[in-house]
Amino acid sequence: MSTSPDAAPGTALGSGGAAAPVDAADLPRLQRRTSAVLMASQILGGLGVPISIALAPVLATEISGTEALSGFASTAAVIGTALVSLPLAALMTARGRRPGLVVAYAIGTLGAALVVLAASVRSFPLLMLGMAAFGAASSANLQARFAAADLAAPDRRARAISLVVWSSTLGAVLGPNLSAPASDSFAGTSIPQTAGPFVWAGAVFVLTGTLLAVFLRPDPLLTARALAGAGEQSRQARSLRAGLAAVKASPRARLALLTVAVSHTAMVSIMVMTPMDLSHHGAGLRLVGLVISGHIAGMFAFSPVMGWLADRLGRLSVIGLAAGLLSLAALLAGTAHGNHAQSAAGLFLLGLGWSAGMVSGSALLTDSVPQAARAAVQGLSDLTMNTAAGVGGAAAGLVMSQAGYGWLNAIGAALLLPMAALALFTARRHPQPAKPGGLSS
C-alpha cells in the first residue's frame, strides 16, 4: 500500500492505485508489524556492516602498500554515510520509507561489490569509491529508527525507536567476531581473503533489502501522512532548506539535533582511541576485545530502558542523563592510567550515555517538527551527526598523539557543555506543549 499525496486524511492507495481506507483502530497492529519487520532488518543489516568494516583498514593497507592510508577506508565509509543522508531523506519524503531503505541497501551492495573488485585488481581509488557506497547501508540502519517512530503514538515513540536500536545488538557484537570465518571461507579462491567479508556483507544487504521490499507494507511514513493529511506539504518539504527551516522554527528540534550530534561525536572520538590507550598500558587483544564488547553492549543492549525512561520521564530528562553518563564515562576513561577495570567501566558508560542521547534526541526531533518536514529533518540530523563524528574521529588521533588520552576525554566532556546548557535553557523557556493524541503530534 502506498499513500497518495492527494488522498484525503485517513485514506491511502493500494498497490493497484485504488483508494483504501486507513483505519486508526488498525494502528497498533500496523505498528507491531512495522516494528517487527524493522527489527528483523536491523538484525540482518546490523550484521552486514560490522562483519566487514573491521577488516577495512587491513584491506586498505594491503592495496595501498602503506599503513599511513589504513584509516582512509573507514573514513570513506563515514563520508558515504553522511553524503547519502539527504538524498535518502528526499527519496523517503517523495516515495516513502520502503523505497528509501531498499535503495540504500542496494547502494551498499554495490559498494561491497566494488570493494571486492578493488581488492582483486588492487585499486585504491576504487576501494575508496566502494567504501563510500558501502556507507549507504549504515545510513539505512540509522534511518530505520525513524521509520519505527512513524506510526508510534507520541507517548511511545522513544520506545519504538529504542527497540530498533536494541535489535542491532546481535550484529554489533557478533559481526566483528565473524570477520575471520568470513575471510577463511574464501581461502583458495580468486577473491582475496581480506575482501571475503564484503562478499558476505553484500549478500546480507540483498536479504535485508528484499525483506523490506516485501514486508514493509503498508509504508509507515506514507500511512502516517495519510492519517495526518500532510501529503502535499510533505512533497514540498524535500530539500535541505526545508529541513533547516523546520529546525530553525523549533527550539526543541535544535536541542534534539545538537544532542544526537554531540552524543555521537563524543562517543566516537573517545572510543576509536581507547584500544590504543589500552595497548599502551599493556592490555592484550583479548582484553581490548572485552572492553569494546562491553562498550557495544552499553550502546545497544539497554536502549529499551532508555526508550522507556524517555517516554515516562520526558525527553529532556533523558538528555540530561545522557550528558551525565557521557561526562562520567570521560572522567573514568581519561583517568584510568592503566586500570583496565576502570577503563572498561568508562567505556560501558560511554555506550550507555550514547544510547540515552541517541534515543531521547531522535524521539525529541520527531516530536518537534511537523509531519510534513520530518523525513527532511531526520536526514539533516544524520548528515550532521555523521559529519561531526567523522571530524571528531579524525581529530581524535591528532589530540591523542599531541596531548594524550586524558586530554582527549577532557575535550569529549567539554563538548557536552553546550548540550547540557541548551537542555536547561529549553526546559525553562520552551516547556513541552500539551499535545492531542494521534500521529501528527
Single-letter amino acid, residue 222: L
pLDDT above 90 covers what percent of the chain?
66
Alpha helices in 56-174 (DSSP H): 56-64, 72-95, 97-121, 124-149, 157-166, 169-174
Per the CB < 8 A criterion, the answer to whether 47 and 174 are in contact is: yes
Residues 249-263 have a mean pLDDT of: 97
What tens digit of pLDDT does each residue of 112-146 get? 999 999 999 999 999 999 999 999 999 999 999 99
DSSP 100: H
Q: Which three cell numbers stand for residue 330?
A: 570521560
Which range, 60-64, 283-287, 305-309, is most confident? 305-309
Region label for 8, one of left (φ > 0), alpha (ψ between -120 and 50) or beta (otherwise): beta
pLDDT above 70 covers what percent of the chain?
90
For residue 22, what pLDDT is reported? Answer: 59
CA distance 249 to 374: 13
Q: Given CA atoms 193, 194, 195, 197 in this order, what sign does their dihedral have? A: positive
- Give counts: helices (H), strands (E), the chain: 19, 2
* Domain extents in the chain: 23-228, 240-430
Shared fold status for 23-228 and 240-430:
yes
Identify whether 218 is preceded by a cis peptide bond (ω within 30 of 0).
Answer: yes
What tens digit of pLDDT does each residue of 214-244 get? 999 999 999 998 888 755 555 555 567 888 9
What tens digit of pLDDT does each residue of 66-81 get? 877 877 888 889 899 9
User: What are the angstrom distances between the C-alpha of 112 and each of 135, 195, 244?
Assistant: 10, 9, 33
For residue 239, what pLDDT is reported? Answer: 63
Per the CB < 8 A criterion, the answer to whether 91 and 378 are in contact is: no
- CA within 13 Å, CB half, 263: 32
Single-letter amino acid, residue 254: R
Least confident of 87-96, 158-167, 250-259, 275-284: 275-284
Residue 176 has pLDDT above 60, yes or no: yes
For residue 53, what pLDDT is reported? Answer: 77
Per the CB < 8 A criterion, the answer to whether 27 and 151 are in contact is: yes
What fold is seen in the domain 240-430? Growth Hormone; Chain: A; (1.20.1250)
Best CATH choice for the domain 23-228 from the list 3.30.590.20, 1.10.730.10, 3.40.50.300, 1.20.1250.20 = 1.20.1250.20
Residue recorded with cell 511537523: 370
Q: How confident is the model at residue 171 (pLDDT cuts 50, 70, 90)?
A: confident
CB atoms inside a 10 Å sphere around CB 99 = 18
Question: Average pLDDT, whole number, for the chain?
Answer: 88
- CA within 13 Å, CB half, 292: 26
For residue 212, what pLDDT is reported? Answer: 98
